[in-house]
Every structure is written in structure tokens, then in C-alpha cells.
Amino acid sequence: MFRKSETTALERRMPRLPGGFSLPPFGLHQWLALIIVCIALWAIGLLWLGLQAGSSWTQGWRQDIRFHVYLEKAESERLQALAGKLKEVPGVGAVRMVPQSETRAWLENWLGGAGEITDDLLASLPGSIEVTPGVKSGDFLYADLADAARSFGASVNRGEAHLVQAQSMLAKAEKMLWFGTLVIALAMIIVISNTLRMTLLARADEVQLMRLLGAGEMFVRMPFLLEGGLLGAGAGGLAWLLLWPPLFAVGDWLTQLDAEVSGFALLLPLLFGGAFVGWLGSLLATTRLASENTTTA
């Protein structure tokens, strides 16, 4: 029987929870697992913040994307025929032939009044057609426009295509990030499971004694399930705090890009995601314990 001082020291090492449960001692292995899971969650959080910044940056100019098709020595009839061909391309919202007056105004603004724009200069420029993508434009819109323009000897501005390709690349990056998150989550589950497994092995005699005294299986497993959840949630909270120094470091750069990034949006996902991963890891560890106990019996 424990003396009062020994009981107090034991409760300090194993804090009691409502319902009579007490957490297992938090030793070196738990601290290592906490650090590993925290680093993994921090890396995932940084990747999602980067994707959030990229999506916010592209969203700012996505609504203003226009494709410009240029036709050398453009006659009015050929230019109209090309515009009609471009309208038939799936995913095209609107097609507009750019008038020479608009081209003149753009050149004057670009030159800053350094030179006079003559009619001969305007006549030597290629004809321009502005294509507005539709709401449901596909990933192959640029390729389809290029094929339609090539049949008339025209060309599409490649620089504008890169903007659309950036949006498509972000969508693919998001799918890859989801896959990477699942893989890292499985790795964290294994780390937490093995950590709690070592704790269970160290307390095997105590667990066996509790069973001999009539403790139910859930009563024996509950402290370890709680420890796994708290370990994951603690790692998630610490990872969220560690996201702020990089955010402050690149804050001015993100402001220049007009990219909105919110660190608070990742608070609940990191907390609950870490707790869920920790709970699954502890569930795996205690399930193996229960199966071994059944086999022994």
C-alpha cells in the first residue's frame, strides 16, 4: 500500500482525469514522438499555406485572363473568318476583334508619348482578336485555339497561356498534396502506435494485474487512447504556433503579390487532425495488445 507521499508523487507523474483514468507517464519516447509528429504537421501546414497563397494569387487575375490571336497582313474578311472559327472552339465565352484605335491608344500608353504612332505603322501591325474564356473552359482551350489559329496562319500569345497553365498546375499540386498528406498521416499513425506500444510493454505487468482485478478492456485501453489523442493535438497546436514565424517573414512579399494567406484557417485542421491521427495510432497499439491477450488466453 502506498504511503501518502508516494501516492502524491505517483499522481504527479500520472495525472488523473475525470472518471478515474490516469494517463501513462510521459517519458522520453513520448517527447520524441511529439517532436516528430509536430515537424510532420508543420511541414504539411507550410505546404498548404503555400498552396493557399498560390491559389489566392492566381484568383486575382483569373477573371481577367484574355487570349490574343495575331494574324499577319490581316484583311477584314480573313480576320472575320478567323473570329468565326475561334467562336466555334469549345470553352470560348466571347470573341472580339480589336480595333486599330484601341491598338493606337495602347501603343501610345506603352511608349509614354516618346513617338508618334502613324497610320503606316498601324497598318503594318498584325490584326488582333481578343478571346475571352467561358466559365467552363477546359484545360485544352489554349491548344484548341492554337490549332484553330494555325489553320489561318495566325498565332496565339504564349505568355497568356502560361497564366492558365499556372492555374492548372495548382489544381494538380492540390491533388498531390492531398495524397502526400495521407501518406504522412499514415507515417504519424505508425510513429504514435510504436511509441505507445513501448509504453504498453513497459507496463505489461500493471495491465495484466488490472485485468486480473476485473477491469474491463475499455478501462485498460482508455488511458492510452487519451494519451494518443492528447499527443497528436499537442503536436498540432505546437505546429500551428511554428507556422507564424515563416508567415511573418514572407508577409511583405505576399502583400506585394496581393496574395491572402490566413494562418488561423489551419488551427482547427492541425488540432483535430493531429488528435485524430494520435487516436488512430493509440487505437492500433491497444488493438494489438488486446489481440495478443486473446491469443495468450
The whole-angstrom separation of Cα 257 and Cα 251 is 10
Transcribe 63-124 into DSSP letters. Answer: TT--EEEEETT--HHHHHHHHHHHHTSTTEEEEEEPPHHHHHHHHHHHHTTSS---HHHHHH
pLDDT at 260: 84
Cα gap 82→154, rounded to integer Å: 9
Per-residue model confidence (pLDDT) at position 21: 47
Give the start-to-end residue ranges of the domains of the chain.
4-60+167-296, 73-153
Q: What is the pLDDT of residue 110?
A: 74
pLDDT of residue 258: 79
64 secondary structure, DSSP code: T
What residue type is 176 in one-letter code? M
Give the neighbor-by-neighbor strand order of the sheet with 155-156.
92-97, 127-133, 67-71, 155-156
Give CA angle at 170 (166, 172), nearest 5°. Answer: 115
Eight-state DSSP code of residue 243: T
pLDDT at 295: 46
How confident is the model at residue 116, as a pLDDT?
Answer: 65
DSSP 72: T
Angle (CA) 251-254-255 rounded to 5° is 85
Q: What is the pLDDT of residue 126?
A: 82
Please give the pLDDT value at position 297: 47
Q: What pLDDT does 183 receive?
A: 95
Provide Rg for the chain, Cα atoms: 32
| SS3 state of residue 131 | strand
Residues 6 or more apart whose Cβ sits within 8 Å of residue 192? 33, 37, 228, 231, 232, 277, 278, 280, 281, 282, 285
User: So what's the pLDDT on residue 225?
Assistant: 86
| Confidence at residue 118, expressed as pLDDT on a 0 to 100 scale | 67
Q: What is the mean pLDDT of each run of 10 residues along the chain (297 residues)?
A: 45 48 63 91 94 80 76 81 89 85 77 66 79 72 85 84 74 91 94 84 70 71 85 95 94 84 92 95 78 49
Q: Which of these, 238, 227, 286, lies nearest to 266 by C-alpha position?
A: 238
Query: DSSP 3-state assignment of 27?
Result: coil
Predicted pLDDT of residue 256 = 84
